[in-house]
Structure 1
Amino acid sequence: MTAVSDHASVSAAVPDDVALTGAADAGAELERRLGDPWDAANPYGFRALLQAEERSELLAPAEEVLTACGFGARLVPAALGGRLTRADELARAVRPVFRRDLALGFGHGITSLFAASAVWAAGSQAQRAHLAGLLCGGGRVAIVHHNLAHGSAVLRGELAARPGRSGGYALSGRKDMVINAERADALVVYARTADAPAPGRGSHSVLLVDPAGLPEGAVRALPRKVTGGMRGCHFSGFDFDGCPVPDDALVGAEGDGVRLALRTFQLNRALIPAAAIASVDTALRGAVRAQLGSGRADFGRHGPLLAGVFADLLACDAFASATLRSLHLLPDSAHLAAAAVKYLVPELLRDDVEALTTVLAADSTDAALPITRALTAKLLRDLPAAGLGHAGTAACQAVIAPQLPLLARTSWFRAAEPPDAVLRPRGELPPLDLGALAVAGGDDFLAAALNATAGRLRDRRDQGAYERTLAAYARGFTAELWALHDRCAALPAGARPDLSSPEWCALVDRYALLSAAGAVLALWERCRDDGTFTGDPAWVLLALSRLAGRLGLDLPEPPEGCVARVLAEVVARLHAGTGYDLHRTPLAEGEDLP
């Protein structure tokens, strides 16, 4: 690897001269400061990150770099003095962290955004200013969820906030698994404030709590628990015993907790899969390096797999990008796409990483192969622990399933095509307003995009082999949407879904796959003439053929030469040091590849 000479010194404060105004600038700055991760001498590289995980710690020098680069300010709205204006830009800005270590991305502070989002959406001016200053200054905020947020027994536990004797609230209950609990400078607590048989409207409220200001004896810090995945992250918890919390700790109105959670989770659900794409980029990059080191220039039987994983990453990026942009432009409808992204993209990413392990099992002269194998094994452990496993899937099923009958009756094949700005991966957006997001209703804009794109492909007469195949694919996906429409429309109005039922799970699964197909087709159509690889139909055909395989659709095979075209781009990007994403992002990589 090429030696890295620019491992910058860092300080604990955010420097005044760090002015990152856009995603490209922010990502480039982090890439430069963190250096080539494959370089064994890099103190922030893969070798150092893996050694830190063996100690069940995050890499402290890397955390210092993130603090010095103003990572916390990226999580604060620009109106409050931070640098957060666009959800899609935030995803791109944090990818340099996630491509090095998923646990570092979570443990250093992206979860602070999940906590602070409720305050950004509904907090008082004083609360918002307090958290903004804290995060811009390098502090952390921890979130103490209620049961609605997850579906795994290990994460359960709930707090109750009852009226205090001298006003305010008395907080009681225990929560064992809170990320950064002992490192947090503020807590955002979802607590039950009204009795109800189950969490629902009015049952929970949000409290902004200063852990340093709590009276001794009213709260007990619980010991750290080292998890199988994301071992470096600090998970511990709290046991509250009538802990007094002042009136001004209440965020929004009493009883707003569930609605605030459903509103702000939309950003989390789309952002984390978008960032995690960069983690799988690393696994693919390592697998390609290993194959180049094996002496097989044509990649042999592994070629279609490597090309397919790359196509999946672009498809996931298209799906996540459209969803993140919809938070700005379609606040009434974004909740559906956000749940679908969180439901499907982690599954695609996990399957791709597992497939890449077969490539890494082969012999190779690549000196970095042991590191690549260790990184891939770590990623397979980290993805479920990051909420990209069953717990996240169940929560998203609970959002999507109840809306399917209504979508079939009122939206599919009826809704207007969304604005182009939702589906293009570039272009200006209005500032993100979390308080404007709806939690139900709206149109299915990705289904509308699928229908509109399929119609235009059908009507084109100047098609080559690739576009004729694309048109056949579009017809196949549209026919499958009609089939889903008929199944969902036949369900009783207001039907309560049984999420343990294979039938309901299959409906959600098919819905998410069709949504992804709509995002991919619509993005390609808008980029077809821009001269970038995004506009090349080859990757779209591969991506759609893989989605069609999951749906069991009988569609034509991609044209001859399709895999070779995509594989050539995979190799070109490796040698150019650019990312396997829609933007071909420049990476800090050495040049002495196999």
Structure 2
Amino acid sequence: MRDTSPARGTSSARSTSSAPRAAEPPRAAEPPRAAEPSRAEPLWATEPLRAARLEAALGDPFDPENPHGHLALLRADEARETPEATEALLAEAGLAAEFVPHDLGGRLTGLEELARVLRPLFRRDLALGYGYGITSLFAASSVWTAGNEDQRRSLARVLLGGGRVTIAHREVAHANAILRNEMGAEPRPGGGWLVGGRKDAVINAHRADAFVMYARTSHGDGPRSHSVLILGPDAPAAGEVRRLGRVEMPGMRGAHFSGLELDGVVLPDGALVGAVGDGVSLALRSFQTSHCLIPGTVLAGVDSVLRLAVRAATESRPDGRPSRRRQKVLAGVFADLLACDAMAVTGLRAMSLMPEQSYLLGAAVKYTMPDLLREDLEELATVLGGRGYDRGPLYGGFQKLVRDLPVAGLGHAGTALCQAVIVPQLPTLARTAWFRTAEPPAALFTPGAPLPLFDHRRLAHSSTDDLLTATLVGVAGRLEGHTGHGPLHAGLAALAQAFVAELRVLRARCAALSGAFDPQACALADRYALVLSAAAVLGLWEAQAAHGDAFLGDPAWAVLALSRIGRRLGVRMADLPDGVVEAVLDEALDRCRQRRSLDLYGTRLAG
């Protein structure tokens, strides 16, 4: 076998078979477990120690002398280079161990905790977050989900030994370059697999130690058309692995995408993950992690832009407050971020608490959040004005994030894939689940609270219940008795009832669907996903009002967030109660002054 790769310094680095490997994966120390939040203990106090250490190590992003700050990262992006100093820091911190399950020697015990550990990185640079490591998790997820013990331990050794794993996706119609073209595999008469094909854009193909490939093993289309194969660090028995030239992407310019071509590659029987034809099923199961993790980490980048907008709106203002014209935008985007985080964190927690029921929720998170985040960036552009075109360290992160988001899986292809999950489920959900499913436990809506160990192997790709619509109906019913507690509670109760009414309309319209992908079904999927986002807001507000964070337990942010979701649905909304925008804006301004993040956790930041 020959591994034909361009020389170092052009578009490739090394053969998959040359890197040294540890004999056995080292056992990581037991990770610190999050404490139960309480009013006396704000959510930022439960930040995982590893996340706080990474934030401190990355340092003040606005310090021009910081090798991991905005100036250095923007220069690397403009030069389309990997920020080597920061990658070295992440390697020293052992970040790859975050992507390896705890029973295999890594630190991965829960996806909510993983997202919190990764947010310091994604606040600064999406390309670095993808290029350094999170891609390795998405590639390895199918092996963590259905691989045998030898496969799981072998891949764990690659990651814990400092190697990288990347993924060769199957081809998806009307998709981007990352999802175009595919590998094909056929069984050999004497055993094993003969693999060939080409992918034009594979992240880290030039330096990956192992490839997880969704290869076509059937000439026909359908759910059994593809299988998952591992091309590991050991050289295949025959054939060529060609690592082709670099592909320049419009965004995430510091990440390295390049072509990969396999010609007559022979792999052993042990390269097959699961059974023949399991590829689509495995993708549906294992990609649930990315459906929530991508929005849940990318949100940190939008958090950074919101803080930039607050800076722009308050500089040179003697009272330190934005003009009235900008207050509504800043408060509204902050409420949107909290709503998006409520949905993402709920999805991440569901995969530990009830993994058999998290499939639909994960798809809805990935389906809804990209549009909300893109709309928020458009609103923030009106606040930033000319600063939004700045290429310097202070405001240059805005244009970079606008370029990076579509490449980060938040474009058309990601939306279409999630539609393919949601649309066929709508008729069944309408007939059997809505207004019938039991409510999920309150722990689903308690960020930072302890969780059972996450196990990829428990993920399913079908469910009969709908967790969040049950929450919507339950919270709305309980709020009916709170209308006398003041205008904020009355406003929240009215909003909750408006979304319940929308769910009733959806039930009637979706029950009549055939399950086909037509414009009406896609429009109803849009509305359904927005209803779920409203349910996540209500569930999180109620849990925090009972025993959680003082700000998140106040109705103001939930009223503002729900009113914005309702306007997107075209639902007629009453005027906001007095003081809602001011209360939400005050919290955003306080957090910016205190250097705290603008997500659910209000994390302490380095700058």
C-alpha distance after superposition, 1:442-491 (max 9, x if no partner): 21110000000000001235411100000000010110111111111122
1:436 deviates by 1.5
Q: Secondary structure at the match of 1:239?
A: strand
Q: 2:590 matched to 1:566?
A: no
Q: Secondary structure at the match of 1:425?
A: coil
- Pick one of 298, 319, 335 that aligns with 1:311: 335
Take 1:187 and 1:218, find their aligned partners in 2: how far apart are those partners? 14
1:575 deviates by 1.1
Q: 2:554 matched to 1:543?
A: no
Q: Secondary structure at the match of 2:66?
A: coil
Structure with higher RCO (Cα < 8 A, 6+ apart): 2
Q: 2:32 matched to 1:21?
A: yes
Matching residue's letter, 1:82: G
Contact 1:150-1:392 at 8 Å conserved across structures: no
Identity of aligned residues (%): 51
- Pick one of 370, 393, 396 that aligns with 2:418: 396
Q: Which residue of 2 aligns with 1:577?
A: 595
Q: TM-score, normalised by structure 1?
A: 0.92
Q: 2:481 matched to 1:459?
A: yes
Take 1:372 and 1:397, find their aligned partners in 2: how far apart are those partners? 38
Matching residue's letter, 2:149: Q
**Structure 1 stretches of 5 or more lacking a match?**
1-11, 590-594
Q: TM-score, normalised by structure 2?
A: 0.90
Residue 370 and residue 221 in structure 1: after superposition, are their counterparts in 2 closer, same or farther (change >3 A)?
closer
Matching residue's letter, 2:523: A
Q: Which residue of 1 aligns with 2:3?
A: none
- Pick one of 340, 350, 358 that aligns with 1:326: 350
Counterparts of residues 132-171 of structure 1 (less than 5 Å): 132-148=156-172, 151-152=175-176, 155-164=179-188, 166-171=190-195
Take 1:31 and 1:19, find their aligned partners in 2: how far apart are those partners? 21
Q: Which residue of 2 aligns with 1:5?
A: none
- Pick one of 525, 544, 547 that aligns with 1:508: 525
Take 1:220 and 1:161, find their aligned partners in 2: how far apart are those partners? 17
- Pick one of 204, 210, 213 that aligns with 1:180: 204
- Number of matched residues? 568
- Pick one of 523, 538, 541 that aligns with 1:524: 541
Matching residue's letter, 2:373: L
Q: Which residue of 1 aligns with 2:376?
A: 352
Take 2:81 and 2:155, find their aligned partners in 1: how far apart are those partners? 26
Contact 1:286-1:369 at 8 Å conserved across structures: no
Residue 519 and residue 362 in structure 1: after superposition, are their counterparts in 2 closer, same or farther (change >3 A)?
same
Q: Which residue of 1 aligns with 2:4?
A: none
Take 1:322 and 1:513, find their aligned partners in 2: how far apart are those partners? 14
Q: Which residue of 2 aligns with 1:105?
A: 129
Contact 1:357-1:373 at 8 Å conserved across structures: no
1:214 deviates by 3.5
Q: Which residue of 1 aligns with 2:322?
A: 299
C-alpha distance after superposition, 1:516-559 (max 9, x if no partner): 00000011011014352111211111111110110011121221
Contact 2:177-2:200 at 8 Å conserved across structures: no
Contact 1:283-1:372 at 8 Å conserved across structures: no
Contact 1:151-1:395 at 8 Å conserved across structures: no
Q: Secondary structure at the match of 1:218?
A: strand
Q: Secondary structure at the match of 2:447?
A: coil
Matching residue's letter, 1:424: T
Deviates more, 1:101-110 or 1:368-377: 368-377
Matching residue's letter, 2:147: G
Take 1:342 and 1:137, find their aligned partners in 2: how far apart are those partners? 32
1:356 deviates by 0.9
Take 1:461 and 1:290, find their aligned partners in 2: how far apart are those partners? 39
1:121 deviates by 1.0
Take 2:26 and 2:71, find their aligned partners in 1: how far apart are those partners? 28
Residue 57 and residue 450 in structure 1: after superposition, are their counterparts in 2 closer, same or farther (change >3 A)?
same
1:148 deviates by 4.9
Counterparts of residues 192-591 of structure 1 (less than 5 Å): 192-196=216-220, 198-200=221-223, 202-210=224-232, 213-214=235-236, 218-295=240-317, 297-300=320-323, 301-361=325-385, 370-460=392-482, 462-492=484-514, 495-498=515-518, 501=519, 503-529=520-546, 530-589=548-607
Q: Secondary structure at the match of 1:534?
A: coil
Matching residue's letter, 1:528: A
Contact 1:332-1:442 at 8 Å conserved across structures: no
Take 1:558 and 1:261, find their aligned partners in 2: how far apart are those partners? 43
1:147 deviates by 2.3
Q: Secondary structure at the match of 2:166?
A: strand
Q: Secondary structure at the match of 2:76?
A: helix
Contact 2:239-2:264 at 8 Å conserved across structures: no
1:101 deviates by 0.3
1:211 deviates by 5.4
Q: Which residue of 2 aligns with 1:4?
A: none
**Structure 2 stretches of 5 or more lacking a match?**
1-20, 34-46
Deviates more, 1:257-266 or 1:166-175: 166-175
Q: Secondary structure at the match of 2:199?
A: strand
Residue 263 and residue 162 in structure 1: after superposition, are their counterparts in 2 closer, same or farther (change >3 A)?
same
C-alpha distance after superposition, 1:249-302 (max 9, x if no partner): 111222211111100010110111000110001101111111121426331111
Residue 407 and residue 16 in structure 1: after superposition, are their counterparts in 2 closer, same or farther (change >3 A)?
closer
Deviates more, 1:547-556 or 1:249-258: 249-258
Q: Which residue of 1 aligns with 2:6?
A: none
Q: 2:119 matched to 1:95?
A: yes
Residue 292 and residue 298 in structure 1: after superposition, are their counterparts in 2 closer, same or farther (change >3 A)?
closer
Take 1:113 and 1:194, find their aligned partners in 2: how far apart are those partners? 27
1:332 deviates by 2.6
Contact 1:167-1:246 at 8 Å conserved across structures: yes
1:346 deviates by 1.2
1:370 deviates by 4.1
Matching residue's letter, 1:336: L
Q: Secondary structure at the match of 1:138?
A: coil
Contact 2:192-2:267 at 8 Å conserved across structures: yes
Q: Which residue of 1 aligns with 2:39?
A: none
1:182 deviates by 1.0
Take 2:302 and 2:150, find their aligned partners in 1: how far apart are those partners? 40
Residue 260 and residue 528 in structure 1: after superposition, are their counterparts in 2 closer, same or farther (change >3 A)?
same
Q: Secondary structure at the match of 2:211?
A: strand
Take 1:150 and 1:223, find their aligned partners in 2: how far apart are those partners? 24
1:407 deviates by 0.4
Take 1:329 and 1:323, find their aligned partners in 2: how far apart are those partners? 10
Q: CA RMSD in A?
A: 2.2
Q: Secondary structure at the match of 1:213?
A: coil
Residue 370 and residue 558 in structure 1: after superposition, are their counterparts in 2 closer, same or farther (change >3 A)?
farther
